[in-house]
């Protein structure tokens, strides 16, 4: 099937690449970059058809995110994160879906999911407080998912902690404007958000465990396979795809720069077998990362299509595949950047921006290999479920 959204993105490729410096300067996506994402339908790819979504194959979504990130890391990153939220929202309470999309199917939803808030039970719902970092694309979103722990009547976290996703309209949280000053992905505008004593009705709170165990997708009534792939495969999909796309962008910029470059020794790069070898080796590694990501999500889509549920071992292996793909791509990017010369790191050369963006993306919590690789090794030797918080990572 033709990926029509990818075709639409390609029609704007030159413009999206040209907007990258402006996005970085603004510290958020420019209005024009957002307009293009809306026009092409990127954010609605995984959205329910009931509210104007494409219910696209998640592989198609990953390919679009990679392409966007290869043009501008920040645009790809925002598309990858904000673009997954409609997938989750499509499985939430029908009342909140109607609140968000009833009048405008293009309403965007931000996050983060880190449980940095506490829900205090009251009649009809909860009182909610917290402070979160890293809300990517938040300036362009009118609703938000925020992670929280359940508290008691005094607001103290109940032990053992229970993790929830809480859904709020823009009027119920504050965006901290000067909270995004970082080395890479500057154009994502991943700012802090603060919630103070917001009342949250019960239908806008969903238990995270129900996504992990697959009960939330089943209860939602959706039959499309895309809604039945594991949450821990779907949520990282946009983020890891963005990192791989950034590495592809660095490689493309490097190749364009090297075509006519003459090294200080007087040797043209195209005549230097050592640099050419490194370029090819890096290109192969980046392509391997792309292939691994796409094959991974396709495997779970086809499994869901057959009505089969993913095992814990398969979920763990999926996370290992994603994490390894991100690290492989960034390591390969480092090899080509290291051979770009001093001028390749001038601020007017896009190579340096891709390099900074890639390392910032690799620092995301989902790409930390320790607990993921630990948990996966345990499942490989039949220690299931893995102990403690490692389970939440797979």
**Domain match, 384 and 270 both:** yes
Return the bridge partners of 132, or none: 193
Strands 115-122 and 125-135: antiparallel
State the CATH number of the domain containing residue 147: 2.40.110.10
- pLDDT surpasses 70 at 209: yes
**Domain match, 248 and 115 both:** no
Q: How far apart are CA 188 and CA 208, in angstroms?
A: 25
218 in a domain, yes or no?
no
Mean pLDDT of 54-70: 98
pLDDT digit string, tens, across residues 17-37? 999 999 999 999 999 999 999
**Domain match, 184 and 255 both:** no
Return the bridge partners of 151, or none: 157
Q: How far apart are CA 341 and CA 328, in angstroms?
A: 22
For the chain, helix, strand, coil in percent to 5 are: 60, 15, 25
**Domain match, 253 and 343 both:** yes
**Domain match, 271 and 386 both:** yes
344 in a domain, yes or no?
yes
**Domain match, 50 and 16 both:** yes
- pLDDT surpasses 90 at 394: no
The two three-digit tokens of residue 265, written as one number = 């020794």
180 in a domain, yes or no?
yes
214 in a domain, yes or no?
no
Mean pLDDT of 177-181: 96
Q: How far apart are CA 110 and CA 78, in angstroms?
A: 9
Mean pLDDT of 217-221: 94
**Domain match, 291 and 176 both:** no
Mean pLDDT of 39-61: 98
The model carries a pTM of 0.96
**Domain match, 51 and 70 both:** yes
**Domain match, 184 and 154 both:** yes
- Cβ atoms of residues 147 and 116 within 8 Å: yes
Say how many domains are in the chain.
3
**Domain match, 58 and 122 both:** no
State the CATH number of the domain containing residue 279: 1.20.140.10
219 in a domain, yes or no?
no
**Domain match, 252 and 349 both:** yes
315 in a domain, yes or no?
yes
266 compared with 107, residue with greater pLDDT: 107
Structure confidence at residue 261 as a pLDDT band (50, 70, 90) = confident
- pLDDT surpasses 70 at 345: yes
Q: How far apart are CA 117 and CA 131, in angstroms?
A: 7
Mean pLDDT of 343-362: 95
pLDDT digit string, tens, across residues 224-243? 999 999 999 999 999 999 99
213 in a domain, yes or no?
no
Mean pLDDT of 52-78: 98
- pLDDT surpasses 90 at 138: yes
Residues of the chain above pLDDT 70, percent? 100
31's CB contacts (< 8 A; 6+ apart) are none
Tell me which residue range forms the domain holding 381.
225-393
The domain boundary, picked from 57, 80, 101, lies at 101
255 in a domain, yes or no?
yes
The two three-digit tokens of residue 245, written as one number = 């796309």
State the CATH number of the domain containing residue 85: 1.10.540.10
- Neighbouring CB atoms inside 10 A of 264's CB total 7
- pLDDT surpasses 70 at 339: yes
- Neighbouring CB atoms inside 10 A of 334's CB total 16
Mean pLDDT of 112-140: 97
- Say what the pLDDT of residue 1 is: 59
**Domain match, 95 and 128 both:** no
- Say what the pLDDT of residue 258 is: 84
């Amino acid at each position: 099937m033709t990926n029509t959204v990818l075709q639409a993105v390609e029609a704007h490729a030159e413009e999206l690449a040209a907007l990258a410096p402006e996005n970085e300067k603004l510290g958020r996506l420019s209005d024009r970059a957002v307009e293009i994402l809306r026009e092409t339908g990127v954010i609605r790819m995984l959205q329910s058809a009931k509210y104007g979504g494409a219910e696209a194959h998640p592989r198609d979504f990953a390919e679009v995110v990679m392409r966007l990130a290869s043009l501008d890391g920040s645009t790809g990153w925002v598309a990858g994160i904000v673009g997954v939220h409609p997938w989750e929202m499509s499985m939430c309470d029908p009342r909140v879906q109607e609140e968000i999309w009833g009048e405008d199917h293009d309403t965007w939803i931000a996050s983060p999911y880190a449980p940095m808030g506490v829900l205090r039970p009251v009649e009809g719902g909860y009182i909610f407080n917290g402070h979160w970092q890293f809300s990517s694309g938040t300036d362009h979103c009118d609703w938000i998912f925020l992670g929280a722990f359940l508290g008691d009547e005094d607001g103290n976290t109940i032990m053992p902690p229970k993790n929830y996703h809480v859904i709020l309209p823009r009027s119920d949280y504050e965006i901290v404007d000067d909270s995004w000053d970082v080395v890479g992905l500057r154009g994502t505008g991943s700012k802090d958000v603060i919630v103070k004593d917001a009342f949250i009705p019960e239908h806008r709170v969903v238990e995270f465990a129900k996504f992990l165990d697959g009960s939330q997708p089943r209860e939602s009534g959706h039959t499309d396979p895309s809604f039945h792939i594991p949450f821990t495969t779907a949520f990282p999909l946009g983020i890891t795809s963005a990192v791989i796309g950034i590495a592809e962008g660095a490689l493309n910029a490097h190749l364009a720069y090297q075509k006519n470059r003459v090294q200080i020794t007087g040797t043209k790069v195209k005549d230097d077998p050592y640099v050419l070898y490194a370029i090819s080796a890096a290109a192969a590694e980046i392509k391997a990362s792309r292939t691994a990501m796409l094959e991974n999500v396709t495997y779970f889509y086809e499994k869901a299509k057959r009505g089969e549920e993913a095992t814990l071992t398969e979920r763990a292996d999926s996370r290992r595949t994603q994490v390894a793909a991100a690290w492989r791509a960034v390591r390969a990017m480092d090899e080509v950047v290291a051979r770009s010369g001093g001028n390749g790191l001038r601020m007017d050369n896009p190579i340096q921006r891709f390099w900074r963006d890639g390392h910032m993306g690799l620092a995301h919590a989902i790409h930390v290999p320790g607990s993921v690789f630990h948990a996966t090794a345990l499942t490989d030797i039949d220690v299931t479920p893995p102990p403690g918080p490692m389970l939440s990572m797979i």
